[in-house]
Amino acid sequence: MVKNAFSHITTWVFDLDNTLYPPQARLFDQIEQRMTTYVMQSLGVDRIEANRLRKHYWHLYGTTLAGLMREHDVDPGPYLSEVHDISMDHLEQDADLRAHICDLPGRCIVYTNGTAPYARRVLAARGLEGVFDAVYGVEHAGFLPKPERAAFETVFTRDGTDPTCAAMFEDDHRNLSAPHDMGMRTVHVAPQAFPARHIHHHTDDLTAFLKTVI
């Protein structure tokens, strides 16, 4: 039974974008557009090249920001403020998801490659404000992004999380590799399954999945 696989879990770690809200909300589309504009303005390139670099750095480093910092010494503060200044109008509150997260035994935290202030805006729009014991953003990992193991280690040390007693819910399958190797139970939350040794479970419906582990 799925429930038995989670019987030892005392900390539940949730990614934010496309995990705690459905991809159909297309919130990240707004962020990507603002990223591309920021790359254009920072590097003095046209939109086509900026969009190529945005995707290239995401694939190579895990986030566009990581590439901009490593290859162009971009200041993360203004970048993060600018790209996360988006509308939450497409998000709907989800009382059912809130209830099932609240029913989980132990602590529940959010860990995102976005910023903590942005995460709190999303949580409020989803009706999930006050549900989580802590919210961590990329700034809490020294701007190291998931999927780097050092990023997870920094955040979990700060939080006091024992990975061997924790579960990770993520939409990006790459970001489950390090948690798996650290001893976490991993759940891929995405429309399509990605068969891999570092993924224990897959779901396209987070709320429905949580019902099976309580």
Round to whole Å and give the CA distance between 209 and 169: 11
pLDDT per residue of the chain (214 residues) written in tens, 0 to 9: 799 999 999 999 999 999 999 999 888 899 999 999 999 999 999 999 999 999 999 999 988 999 999 999 999 999 999 999 999 998 999 999 999 999 999 999 999 999 999 999 999 999 999 999 999 999 999 999 999 999 999 999 999 999 999 999 999 999 999 999 999 999 999 999 999 999 999 999 999 999 999 8
Tell me what pLDDT residue 1 has: 78
Tokens of 41: 């303005």
**Domain covering 27-83: architecture:** Orthogonal Bundle (1.10)
Tell me what pLDDT residue 37 has: 95
Listed by start position, the domains of the chain span 2-22+93-213, 27-83
Give the H/E segment covering residue 90.
none
Tell me what pLDDT residue 90 has: 87
Fold of 2-22+93-213: Rossmann fold (3.40.50)
32-41 contacts at long range (C-beta below 8 A, 24 or more positions apart): 34/82, 34/83, 34/84, 34/85, 34/86, 35/64, 35/83, 38/79, 38/82, 38/83, 39/64, 39/68
Closest CA to 16 of 124, 100, 95: 124
- Which residues does 123 contact at the CB level (< 8 Å), separation at least 6? 16, 20, 110, 129, 131, 132, 135
Tell me what pLDDT residue 214 has: 87
